[in-house]
Structure 1
Amino acid sequence: MDTNALRLVEGPPPLTHYLRLRRDSGLTPVRADQGAAAITGSWSACHVVDAGGVPVAMGRVIGDGGWYFHVVDMATDPGHQRQGLGRRVVEWLIADVRARAPEGAYLSLIGDPPGQRLYRSLGLDDVAPSLGMAMVLGADD
């Protein structure tokens, strides 16, 4: 694959591609209404397109605009993994937060094992002894 044909685009990918990238990269699939809200609720986002304009990688930042910013939806199409696209996306997101957020902003993410080495190489540190926690809300709560 010619990585020179790949272009980083500011903003999230279109909804159909957002949903596809989440699913195909192994992230938890979400419904269209959840994806639409996620896209519009982004503080920052970017994606990478191939020569045909098809999104092949993405990432977003959600945050309060004051001090807390969280990287989410890091996803790369399996056919384009191991080409440095995740690094390009995270570097762009970090640079955007640095440029627009107030000094002293706190940037976090939950790093799944495949991405942990990348995130550490970009200056993110483990938060031990803290531990990430989550809850999926459903109709049976």
Structure 2
Amino acid sequence: MPYELHESPPTVDRFLELRDAAGMSERSREAVERGLPNSDYAVTVVDGTGETVGMARVVGDGGSVFHVCDMVVHPDHQGQGLGSRMMDALMDWIDGTAPPKAYVNLLADVDGFYEQWGFERTAPASRGMYYRVEE
């Protein structure tokens, strides 16, 4: 099946559907409606039927901090190299946009994938932490 990479975020509905299909943590509709338009850069992968089957984006302050997030390929389309295509696009954009010494981070739930783009574990030098706002 042919796939096309688009430089745009998914719809709010598809964002929520893709995260759910991949077993990722839930986001509220309000959070996604606010957040997607504030993406610094976003890509989607669309299959031959026009359905969005993958997404990834970069958020941050546009200068010193960039965060790669919401990287997901629908389980029915995994194993086709789509995640790599999206990461290549994100890293091309970061390399062409971020000034020297900018900090690019991500939270990974897969081993051995992001290292090919130069990402390194932060531990033990630092620890990733999070806080989730409750309803």
Category of TM-score, reference length = shorter chain = over 0.9
Q: Counterpart in 2 of 1:42? A: 39
Q: Counterpart in 1 of 2:25? A: 28
Spell out structure 1 runs of 4+ moving beyond 6 A: none
Unaligned runs of 5+ in 2: none
Q: Counterpart in 1 of 2:96? A: 99
Select 1:133's aligned residue among 101, 118, 129. Answer: 129
2:58 pairs with 1:61: yes
Give the deviation of 1:103 after TM superposition: 2.2
Unaligned runs of 5+ in 1: none
- Residues 24-46 of structure 1 show CA distances to partners (whole Å, capped at 9, x for unaligned) of 11111222211111211211110
Equivalenced residue count is 134
Query: TM-score when scaled to structure 2?
Result: 0.93
Give the deviation of 1:11 after TM superposition: 1.3
Q: Which structure: greater helix fraction?
A: 1
Supply the distance in 2 between the matched residues of 1:101 and 1:11 (Cα, whole angstroms).
19
Supply the distance in 1 between the matched residues of 2:102 and 2:60 (Cα, whole angstroms).
10
CA RMSD across the alignment: 1.1
* Secondary structure of 2:50 counterpart: coil
* Secondary structure of 2:57 counterpart: strand
What amino acid does structure 2 have at the position aligned with 1:135?
A: Y
Q: Counterpart in 1 of 2:114? A: 119
* Secondary structure of 1:33 counterpart: helix
* Secondary structure of 2:18 counterpart: helix
- Residues 51-71 of structure 1 show CA distances to partners (whole Å, capped at 9, x for unaligned) of 111110110111101111000
% identity of equivalent residues: 37
Query: TM-score when scaled to structure 1?
Result: 0.90
